[in-house]
Amino acid sequence: MPLEKTQRTELTELGEFGLIDHLTKDIVLKNKSSVKGVGDDAAVIDNGQKLTLVSTDLLVEGVHFDLSYTPLKHLGYKAVSVNISDIVAMNGTARQVLVGLSVSNRFSVEAIEELYDGIKQACKVHNVDLAGGDTTSSVSGLFISITVIGDVEREDVVYRYTSRENDLVCVTGDLGGAYMGLLLLEREKAMFKDDPSMQPDLEGHDYILSRQLKPEPRTDIIRNLHEIRVKPTAMIDISDGLGSEVLHLCKGSGLGCMIYEDKIPIDLTTVNAAADFNISPVTTALNGGEDYELLFTIGQQDFEKIRVIPGISVIGHMTAPGEGAFLVTGDDQLVEIRAQGWNALKRKD
């Protein structure tokens, strides 16, 4: 009897977050120590006095990084930093890092040493222990798996699904720079492929290049908020673009929001680079990703307190359930916010 054909669903139909939702929708946590599983920046485990935070990321050559313009030392540093950012987004402190590497024989020992120099440097800067990992061979390219372990006081943990109606929406730093740095590197790579005699023209773009190649987790903001005794009502780090992360907060909290275009912080160098590429700077902030700033909400009563912390911008507020997520443009038009940021499973046409 011939086997009955089953329907095939392409990964691109679901996308990265749709696939995660599909695979994890029926998972039930059975252990009392498992406080929070899939669905936030890190898993939360109750191990006694403090809560343990665990997050992991897989970085794949050709998908998440391009070694034609990414120095290995910078790659190692970034791999650790972006994982620490997940712990920071839970209002926690990173303590240990585990590193898994899969490498092909086109890499030398010296090359892997350079990668590890970046990993060690990030651990040193952020006071994190490199506590172990694994290394194996690869038939193609470089694969990096980073697991970061941290902790947070039980009463201080912050999730992404606990915003309240009328809470203020805040963001740290400035947005869109990392994406413009990526576009610049991709443009220079394409020009070099067309004419190998040309030298990359990167002068004057140090800021946006550093935003792309060497991002920093906002551990300083967490310390500052703790010092003034302000606990965000919800928080997430901006890895996939402001628009995508805003929708995560709305979906998790069951609320809508209003984000004001003229309140979104964008550095002048990012604005100038966007003009060079004929792109709206706000588009880079909403959809670019890899800024690794923090997006969080606070009660209105804490507004005066956070004004003393440099680098925090209030960009909007949460609205009632069912009201949707909107960008209020400079001329008072309402534009629905859609998730158009980074998607590792998106079809590459």
Burial class for 349, CB neighbours closer than 10 Å (0-12, 13-18, 19+): exposed
pLDDT at position 264, please? Answer: 98
279-304 average pLDDT score: 96
- Which of 153, 182, 197 is at the close of a domain? 153
- Residue 3 placed within a domain: no
Average pLDDT, the chain: 88
Dihedral sign from CA coordinates of 331, 334, 339, 340: negative
In a domain, 142, yes or no: yes
- In this prediction, residue 19 has a pLDDT band, given cuts at 50, 70 and 90, of low
Q: What is the DSSP letter of 260?
A: E
235 and 93 assigned to the same domain: no
Give the whole-number percent of the chain exceeding pLDDT 70. 85
DSSP-assigned beta bridge partners for residue 103: 137, 142
What does the alpha-carbon distance between residue 319 and residue 305 come to, in Å, rounded to a whole number?
22
Residue 348 pLDDT > 50, yes or no? no
Whole-prediction pTM value?
0.87
Counting DSSP H helices and E strands in the chain, the numbers are 10, 13
N residues, the chain: 349
Mind listing the pLDDT tens digit for each residue in 120-163?
999 999 999 999 988 888 888 899 999 999 999 999 999 999 99
Asked whether the predicted pLDDT for residue 233 surpasses 50, the reply is yes
Count the domains in the chain: 2
CATH number of the domain residue 60 falls in: 3.30.1330.10
DSSP track, 53-98: EEEEEEEEBTTTB-TTTS-HHHHHHHHHHHHHHHHHTTT-EEEEEE
Q: Are residues 186 and 330 in the same domain?
A: yes
**Same-domain status, 193 and 61:** no
43-89 pLDDT, tens digit per residue, is 888 888 899 999 999 899 988 999 999 999 999 999 999 999 999 99
Q: What pLDDT score was predicted for residue 347? A: 47
Both 199 and 98 in one domain: the answer is no
Asked whether residue 126 is domain-assigned, the answer is yes
What tokens were used for 261? 């275009």
Which region among 145-159, 169-183, 225-239, 326-340 has the lowest average model confidence (pLDDT)?
Answer: 326-340
Q: Are residues 325 and 224 in the same domain?
A: yes
pLDDT band at 339 (very low <50, low <70, confident <90, very high): confident
Classify 13 as helix, strand or coil: helix
Contact present, 241 and 327 (Cβ < 8 Å) = no
What confidence tier does 194 reach under pLDDT thresholds 50, 70, 90?
Answer: confident
Q: According to the model, what pLDDT value does residue 35 have?
A: 60
On whether residue 161 sits in a domain, the answer given is no
Kindly state whether residue 146 falls inside one of the protein's structural domains: yes
Q: Is residue 5 part of a domain?
A: no
pLDDT in tens, 247-256: 999 999 999 9
In the predicted structure, residue 34 carries a pLDDT above the cut 80: no
pLDDT at 17: 53
Instruction: Provide the 3-class DSSP secondary structure of residue 294.
Output: strand
pLDDT at 349 over 80: no
Instruction: Detail the DSSP E strand segments found in 229-345.
Output: 234-237, 256-260, 294-298, 312-319, 325-328, 334-336
CATH of the domain at 269: 3.90.650.10
Residues 135 and 204 in one domain: no
Asked if residue 188 and residue 94 are part of one domain, the reply reads no
132: left (phi over 0), alpha (psi -120 to 50) or beta: left
Contacts of 255 (CB under 8 A, 6+ apart): 163, 164, 165, 249, 318, 319, 320, 321, 323
**179 and 126, same structural domain?**
no
Say if residue 29 is in the same domain as residue 143: yes
Range 99-118 average pLDDT: 94
Q: How far apart are CA 87 and CA 75, in angstroms?
A: 19
174 and 265 in a single domain? The answer is: yes
Does residue 145 share a domain with residue 49? Answer: yes
57, 62, 328, 332 from 316: Cα distances, Å: 30, 36, 9, 13
Q: Which domain holds residue 112?
A: 11-153
Could you tell me if 148 and 183 lie in one domain?
Answer: no
Pick from 153, 177, 198: which residue ends a domain?
Answer: 153
CA distance linking residue 60 with residue 102, whole number of Å: 10
